[in-house]
Amino acid sequence: MLSAALLLLLQDAKKFPDPPAGTPPLHVHPGAEAARADEMKAYRETVPGTEAGFDLVPIPGGTFRLGSPDDEEGRKADEGPEVEVELAPFWMGRCEVSWNEYHPFMLSLDRKARAAGQGSAVPQDAWADSVSRPTPPYVPMDFDMGIDGFPAISMTHFAARHYTKWLTMKTGRFYRLPTEAEWEYACRAGTRTAYSFGADAAQLDLHAWYFENSDGAYQKVGTKLPNPWGLHDMHGNVAEWVLDAHDKAFYATLGGKTANPLNWSSDAYPHVVRGGSWDDDPEKLRSAARRASSKAWKVQDPQQPKSIWYLTDAQFVGFRVVRPLVPPPPEEWARYFEPEVDSIREVLEKQRRGGR
């Protein structure tokens, strides 16, 4: 039953043959190779068969306290209790995923270029072409805020995860969304203050795009000062998807020192977004601030059922990618990429009732 549902919902997948057995070949990239944490270094990933590329920063493994202290100004109840978390090393995108990186996936630019005789074929195409792509949007999804160098926005959690699958198939390196704990750890970059630059929100203008300085729109990625680990826009510009389901009580379930926590979801809502956005006030940009996704983020979508790819009312949401130093075995990759069973059933039930 699940396979039939996937074929029904993921409309583009059935147009292409199944990829070969096994995992895609690695796109040769010496700078991306490391056997141990002390060998990790920053590198630029180039996406084979496209003009896209992006920079990654090594994030050392370590221990930190997830959440905020009771006396932090602007703190919400779902930010606690503080818990000690241990994380394995990973690379993280230096900036948020931009339209330059997302459009080849979203608009199938790589396929179209090859079909027009303008793009170069690569061995990974057989795997990447089998990944489901978004259906055409009914409005420009940048909402006239800019494309070249600007963050991609308004994709569902489902779509962001499928992008990481496509990217993994294109490169042969395992990319995914960060976990919530990884995101906060990287944002804090060894700090314990409300922001990675300290506790004074008056310093936000140097580090973040937010309601007071954004002029009512997102801005180009990487134009504000980075945090101590070299990551830009962890505060503001666009809020960022993480893998975790949002649960106000999740931190309380983590006892002692927890290694690599992840709150898996079985539904499309709510998931966690982090970092605050161009449309938010300072307290929502704090390192520990959390926000839960909502069905209201696509209320203006005229389609029935609502799109599984786009969030018409979340022009403040984007994402960035991570790559763990030690990836899971390939047979476990699908769990990080594929849609939740309950969300599939929800759409199928709407279709059954005639809501097409």
Tokens of 317: 């949401």
Identify whether the C-beta of residue 175 lies closer than 8 Å to the C-beta of residue 167. Answer: yes
Per residue in 145-178, pLDDT (tens digit) is: 999 999 999 999 999 999 999 999 999 999 999 9
Lowest mean pLDDT among 137-141, 148-152, 278-282: 137-141
Q: d(Cα 13, Cα 319) in Å, to the nearest integer?
A: 23
Instruction: Give me the pLDDT at residue 29, please.
Output: 87
Beta bridge partners of 54: 45
What is the mean pLDDT of the segment spanning 341-351?
Answer: 49
Per residue in 181-207, pLDDT (tens digit) is: 999 999 999 999 999 999 999 999 999
Instruction: Give me the pLDDT at residue 119, please.
Output: 81
Q: d(Cα 343, Cα 349) in Å, to the nearest integer?
A: 10
CA separation, residue 347 to residues 14, 21, 269, 322 (Å): 18, 30, 13, 29
Instruction: Give me the pLDDT at residue 11, please.
Output: 41
Q: d(Cα 330, Cα 51) in Å, to the nearest integer?
A: 27
Task: Write the DSSP assignment of 97-137 as a string of letters.
Answer: PBHHHHHHHHTTHHHHHHHTT-S---TTHHHHTTS--PPPP
Q: d(Cα 210, Cα 235) in Å, to the nearest integer?
A: 8
What proportion of the chain, given as a percentage, has pLDDT over 70? Answer: 90
Q: Which helix (H) or strand (E) holds 274?
A: strand 271-274
Q: What distance lies between CA 18 and its chain's CA centroid?
A: 26
Instruction: Give me the pLDDT at residue 8, please.
Output: 36
Instruction: Give me the pLDDT at residue 339, please.
Output: 67
What phi, psi does 64 have (nearest 5°)?
A: -155, 175
pLDDT exceeds 60 at position 19: yes
pTM (2 d.p.): 0.91
All structural domains of the chain, each given as residue ranges with its CATH number in brackets, are 2-352 (3.90.1580.10)
**Which pairs from 214-217 meet CB under 8 Å and 24+ separation?**
214/278, 214/279, 216/278, 216/279, 217/145, 217/146, 217/278
Per residue in 210-251, pLDDT (tens digit) is: 999 999 999 999 999 999 999 999 999 999 999 999 999 999
Picking from 89, 99, 201, 115, the residue whose alpha carbon sits closest to that of residue 153 is 99
CA separation, residue 334 to residues 190, 241, 290 (Å): 32, 18, 26
Identify whether the C-beta of residue 53 lies closer than 8 Å to the C-beta of residue 114. Answer: no
Q: d(Cα 203, Cα 11) in Å, to the nearest integer?
A: 47
Contacts (Cβ under 8 Å, ≥6 apart) of 79: 67, 68, 72, 251, 288, 289, 290
What is the mean pLDDT of the segment spanning 78-95?
Answer: 97
Instruction: Give me the pLDDT at residue 340, please.
Output: 59
Q: d(Cα 66, Cα 188) in Å, to the nearest integer?
A: 10
Mean residue pLDDT across the chain? 90
pLDDT exceeds 90 at position 62: yes
Q: d(Cα 278, Cα 317) in Å, to the nearest integer?
A: 10
